[in-house]
Amino acid sequence: MRLFIAEKPSLGRAIADGLPGPHRKGNGCIETGGGTVTWCFGHILEAAEPGDYDPKWKPWPGTPADLPIVPKIWKLSPVPKAKDQLKIIKDLLGAATEIVHAGDPDREGQLLVDEVLEYLGNKKPVLRIWLSALDEKSVRQALSDLKPNDRFAPMKNAARARSQADWLVGMNLSRAYTISARSGGNPVAVLSVGRVQTPTLSLIVSRDLEIETFVPKDFFAVVARIESGPSGAFDALWTPPDTHPALDSEKRCLDRAEASRIAVRIKGQEGRLDVRKTDKSEPPPLPWSLSALTVEASKKYGLSAKEVLDAAQGLYEKKLTTYPRTDCEYLPENQKADVREILAALSKRKDYAGLAEGADPALVSRAWNTEKVTAHHAIVPTLEAASSQGLSDKEEKVFDLVCRRYLAQFYPPCRYTETVVTLVLAGEPFRATGKTPVATGWKIVTQTMDDDDREEQEPTLPPLSSGEIGRCREGTVKAKKTAPPKPYTDGTLIAAMKNVGKTLTDPGEKKILLETDGLGTEATRAAVIEGLLFRGTIEKSRKALVSTPKGRALIDACEPEVKSPAMTALWERKLEAISAGADPSGYQREIEGHVRRLIDSALKKSVRIPIDGKRCPKCGSGVLRRVNGKYGPFLGCSGYPDCRHMEKLPGTRPAQTAEAKGKSGKAPARKSPPGKRRG
């Protein structure tokens, strides 16, 4: 019996649909004429806790003497909610003669199923199915092209090396900095430090400090209102040479008196126009990577990174769009064969009927480039795009972005004429630019022009010819101020994480991060942001992501290499080598030594983290925090279980105390505070 092990149920169902009948639904599996399909629920195994290796490591955060925590033999534990499914896989594995690994087509997907097979002691042959889309045609093509799973072992090794290195950094440095914070005066501090999350937090803190310390500068623009016979009037801007003494390094005029003198001098002056027209075209934008899609959905709809990823994942699982966690914006040339069918599917939806019918499948945009396709191609609609019923509002918005960007590939470039007019007035150079639309092209696919496009749209100049005389009717000075950088939003932070290499000065490190994922991956960036929000190191102010006092204090305390993306660059260089077949053991030893040095540094610091909440009136050492108890939320002492003091949460009914219940004498059941167990 051939056994398919999928990463998740939706993937398993898609594979089953591509296999011959008869189909019969079993317990945690689907039996087909082409084999049995079962599935994981994402990771059904998780890294063991420190206390599972040694009882002395169980207390959190422990003592300096307990560090470092370095497992000699790494262990995995079943995720409690997935134990039943793990047993189903084990039983099916016993009856199988051949296994087909059906994890997601990336490093993490490779590790996810491989670690289950290793945990269960599988010795049977394993093949690999590589699925970038879940429509029936794509599944059947992939089923006809199974490959030996051991060919993908380097991907598994790289994912495991990354996971274990992140565990070592997170578990050890989170404890070390928490110990330092508690010795520095906050007895209930809980800090989380990680290879990706801490540099990401540092980006936000740095941006906030830039905004707070920003000192606006006044600068001045000189605008000439030009009349040219019957042609009409237009505005031209003073464009002095870079060496002009009134300009700063950013080519802005800081001297109001000089600007005013020029405005007075040019009034009534004439100059001969030099008019240059250039025909230009703008090709359709490339299809979406997850990062680009997140930036657009955040800007256009205010969606968070997690909301975009969840929507894109939902569309993928509904077989409407292709694999979402991709960093690629190109498509393989062999998928041109599906274009007519996908356009036909889109034409069945009223939103796209006219656009799909007007699309020209014979057009070949720059998106079709097999050489630029990485592990996964761009996010595009599938052959089943017509059956998009029952979508959530967020899924509808993301689906619309994906479909319109795909449709744009089959429309010609947008064409326009760019006009540049120059003239000299009283010895000073002036310049005006304008655009005249010639052909809308692919822009017809977008319902409305983006706000940014509207803001940047240049005025249309009147008909002008070189040699005409322009007369300055009026010269005016426009006072402006430099603006501070904008706070990060989910979208702009995702873009900054992806392009974080631009912040580095070392050419080698910069090159690595610009050529790879930057900070995090397409699959993890949304979770990193959510984690920072959950731990209270950042918060949302409308759409903006801003740092909290806790987040700033943590970044202030961290060593430069902990909060710099340079460490990620060095790691990624090693992981790429492992993905290419290098031995991961040397990388592991290097990380262990690195962590030991960082622990020593953290423990020598006196980290001062502000106490969030009022002191417990009973024990005097704990802090009152919101607790989601069995009978509703209440304020409880952070010193629980040693101190069981509780109070009514403002705006709620009084907490049900044990005394009020009259029997057990126990405090209401409560959840562990976030971050208590894991670094």
HSE at residue 317, side-chain half, CA atoms within 13 A, is 14
Cβ neighbours for 207, distance < 8 A, ≥ 6 positions apart: 485, 487, 488
- DSSP, collapsed to helix, strand or coil, labels residue 416 as strand
Q: Could you give the angle at which helices 393-408 and 305-317 cross, rounded to 10 degrees?
A: 80
Residue 52 and residue 74 in contact, taking contact as beta carbons nearer than 8 Å: no
Element (H, E) at 36: strand 35-39
Provide the residue type at 89 as one letter: I
Closest CA to 401 of 303, 499, 517, 331: 303
CA distances from 519 to 199, 385, 522, 567 (A): 8, 32, 9, 10
Closest CA to 169 of 529, 672, 558, 527: 558
* 16-21 contact pairs (CB < 8 A, 24+): 17/136, 17/139, 18/136, 18/139, 18/140, 18/142, 18/143, 19/143
Give the helix, strand, coil percentages of the chain, each rounded to 5.
Answer: 40, 20, 40
Residue 88 and residue 30 in contact, taking contact as beta carbons nearer than 8 Å: no
Distance CA 595, CA 359 (A): 56
Distance CA 675, CA 673 (A): 6
Closest CA to 613 of 603, 626, 623, 604: 623
- Given strand 270-272, what is the order of strands in its sheet? 270-272, 469-481, 218-227, 233-238, 428-439, 414-425, 274-282
Active-site residue 330, yes or no? no
Tokens standing for residue 394: 């967020």
- Given strand 488-489, what is the order of strands in its sheet? 488-489, 544-547, 538-541
Residue 178 and residue 63 in contact, taking contact as beta carbons nearer than 8 Å: no
- 323, 352, 416, 587: the catalytic one is 323
Closest CA to 333 of 306, 371, 376, 378: 371
Q: Residue 115, Cβ neighbours under 10 Å: how many?
A: 20
Question: Which residues belong to the active site?
Answer: 323
